[in-house]
Amino acid sequence: MKKMIRLNYKNKVIKEYETDTPILEVVKDFQKYYNYDIVAVKADNEIMELSDVVTKDCMIDFFDRSTKVGNNIYARSLQFMIVLAVKRVMGYDTEIMIEHSMDKGVYCEILDSDFDKPVLNKIEEEMHRIVKEDLIFTKLSVARIDAMNYYKRKKQTDKVSALKYISNTYVNLYRLDDIYDYFYGEMAYSTKAINDFDLTYIKDNGFVLSYPDLYNPECTLEYKHHNMVFNTFLDYTKWGKMIGIENAADLNQIISRGEYETLIHLAEAYYNNQLSHAAAKIYDNKENIKMVLIAGPSSSGKTTTAKKLEIYLRSRGLNTYQISVDDYFVNKIDTPLDENGNLDLESLRAVDVQLFNQHLTKLLDGEKVLLPQYNFITGEREYHKKWVQLKKDDVIIIEGLHGLNEELTLSVERRNKFKIYISPLTQLNIDNHNRIHTSDTRRLRRIVRDSKHRGYSAAETLKQWDKISMGEEKYIFPYQDDADMVINSALVYELGVLKTYVEPLLFSVEEDDEMYPEALRLINLLRNLLSIPSDTIAPDSVLREFIGGSCFKD
């Protein structure tokens, strides 16, 4: 008789199973509690695929596409399906590049093949066939050298190069039908569960693969094209190709040759050129522009960008003055609450918009204004004789969460404002099918900054991230198309530098911490990159805002 084990589900349901029962069988008993197909489980604090087995008593939980873990697995599985569909329709020598996030999906390009909208329609039809075929995602543990030799025979040089810099003796490959691919995260059990998606033709050889996201898990929303952000991504990708960096392996090769200093200078020059271009546009319209507003998601480098832009504007003869929206927070007692009853400092209602606009109007009219300063300890606005009076041609610079939202500055005409959307729009891939998420770059930046400047552990920062993301979804992303310019604060070398700082912090997350699976995911991402020392990074670099040593003081 086989030994029995007990699975405890949220301290509400306890079920017994034979040892080594496939998780797939366990899922059948719990699927009724979920609106969407379960794609993975958490046994105690370990993320497991449905093809795994349970071997001991444990606390168990499940992930469908409405959860962060489940949604990532859904997206990754869908991306493997598009690889298979492209090869079935266009030939097995055809290669697809899965690139950056765009709206509620991911931008993809077909490489070196004729591609148009009718071909995309055939690929989408094939995707639906693959769903109906109920194909299994099979995980195989393979010796790294054997995997490299396999991909050499297949002439998939991106995979060979990526695996070259991984120190693991064994790597996980996944098989779908007759395609073997390398992914550094978990997969769903079968294609049947990955049944909601949409493909939108963009131009040339590109299209967007959309799917349900965390905030709309019930279905795939219609794709909305964000032209300025899209073109900024493309420009950076083209620039990366021009300097010989299309993926992490290219970066690793430069690091291994000790040639990263030149790369650092090139990346900083690219970022600075964007600021110079912004300053030129503002200067050329100086008769109208009285205010520059800078907004973007967390850890985009807004503070450094605002301060450096101020220097570029002053070099053109424009006087500037920075105002912090944070100083206009309402008193803590008047701060709105979120759905969980916590203070919602990210809501526009947390800002005294009326007072803010009164002061803007007076400043632009040349009046003398006593500006407030917010005391985050007492939770109240204070006044410390901070009188300000602007000259006729002075430009106000404002950076903050709601900068792109017209409601923040309703008293000022739109023609008098220059809006900048900033984000580290990462163009670097691990290989053709494994992209590096822009949000992961920001997440790593914030972990380092919070540890160095705020005394937070990596686990504490990771716990806050869901709330941060929700605020961005509500208060930033809907307004990105109203920007006059997009600035990409990504630095092509930065993940190599961040690895040096963030890896020890991630390893400090204890195995029983709820954030351990997320810390492990980021550790696995960083294993694909070599480290870069930070000594030659200039003190005015946007990266210094996070790793320390910035010449710009708060």
Nearest CA among 361, 380, 377 for reference residue 369: 361
Domain with CATH 3.10.20.30 in the chain: 4-64
* Phi-psi sector, 343: left (phi>0), alpha (psi -120 to 50), beta: beta
> What pLDDT, on a 0 to 100 scale, did the predictor assign at position 392?
83
- Residue 438 burial by CB count (10 A; 0-12/13-18/19+): exposed, middle or buried? buried
Amino acid found at 525 = L
- Dist. CA 428–CA 422, nearest whole Å: 18
Average pLDDT over residues 223-248: 94
Average pLDDT over residues 216-230: 95
Beta strands in 365-483 (DSSP E): 369-370, 373-375, 380-382, 387-388, 395-399, 417-423, 429-431, 434-435
As a whole number of angstroms, the distance between CA 22 and CA 34 comes to 19
What 3-state DSSP class applies to 479? helix
Kindly tell me if the per-residue pLDDT of 1 is higher than 70: no
* Distance, CA of 274 to CA of 281 (rounded, Å): 11
pLDDT of 29 > 90? The answer is yes
What average pLDDT does this structure show over 117-142? 97
The pLDDT-based confidence of 426 (bands split at 50, 70, 90) is confident
Q: Label the pairing between strands 13-18 and 4-9.
A: antiparallel
Which amino acid would we find at residue 480? Q
**pTM metric for this prediction:** 0.93
Residue 236 identity (one-letter amino acid): Y
- Please write the tens of the pLDDT for every residue from 510-548: 999 999 999 999 999 999 999 999 999 999 999 999 999
Q: What is the Cα 79 distance to its own chain's centre?
A: 17
Q: What is the mean pLDDT of the chain?
A: 94
Spatial strand order in the sheet of 417-423: 320-324, 395-399, 291-295, 417-423, 485-488
Beta carbons of 390 and 396 less than 8 angstroms apart? yes
pLDDT, tens only, 433-489: 999 999 999 999 999 999 998 899 999 999 999 989 988 999 999 999 999 999 999
Read off the pLDDT of each residue in 233-259 and give the average, rounded to a whole number.
Answer: 93
- The answer to whether residue 289 scores a pLDDT higher than 70 is yes
Burial 479-497 (b: 16+ CB within 10 A, else e): bbebbbbbbbbbbbbbbbb
DSSP letters spanning 150-204: HHHHTT-HHHHHHHHT---SEEEEEEETTEEEE-SS---SBGGG----EEEE-ST
**The one-letter amino acid at 392:** K
Token output for 463: 């716990």
Ranges for all domains in the chain classified under CATH 3.30.980.10 = 69-223
Q: In the predicted model, what is the mean pLDDT of residues 8-35?
A: 92
Arch. (CATH architecture) of 4-64: Roll (3.10)
Residues constituting the chain:
554
List Cα–Cα distances, 419 to 29, 68, 125, in angstroms.
52, 31, 41
Confidence of residue 341 (pLDDT cuts 50, 70, 90): confident
User: pLDDT tier at 554 (50, 70, 90 boundaries)?
Assistant: low
Mean pLDDT, to the nearest integer, of 254-258? Answer: 94
Q: 402-432 burial by CB neighbour count: b if 16+ within 10 A, else e? A: bbbbeebbeebeeeebbbbbbbbbbbbbbbb
The CATH T-level fold of domain 69-223 is Threonyl-tRNA Synthetase; Chain A, domain 2 (3.30.980)
pLDDT in tens, 173-205: 999 999 999 998 899 999 999 999 999 999 888
Cα dihedral 374/544/403/328 (nearest 10): 0
pLDDT over 90 percentage in the chain: 88
Tokens of 75: 């997206």
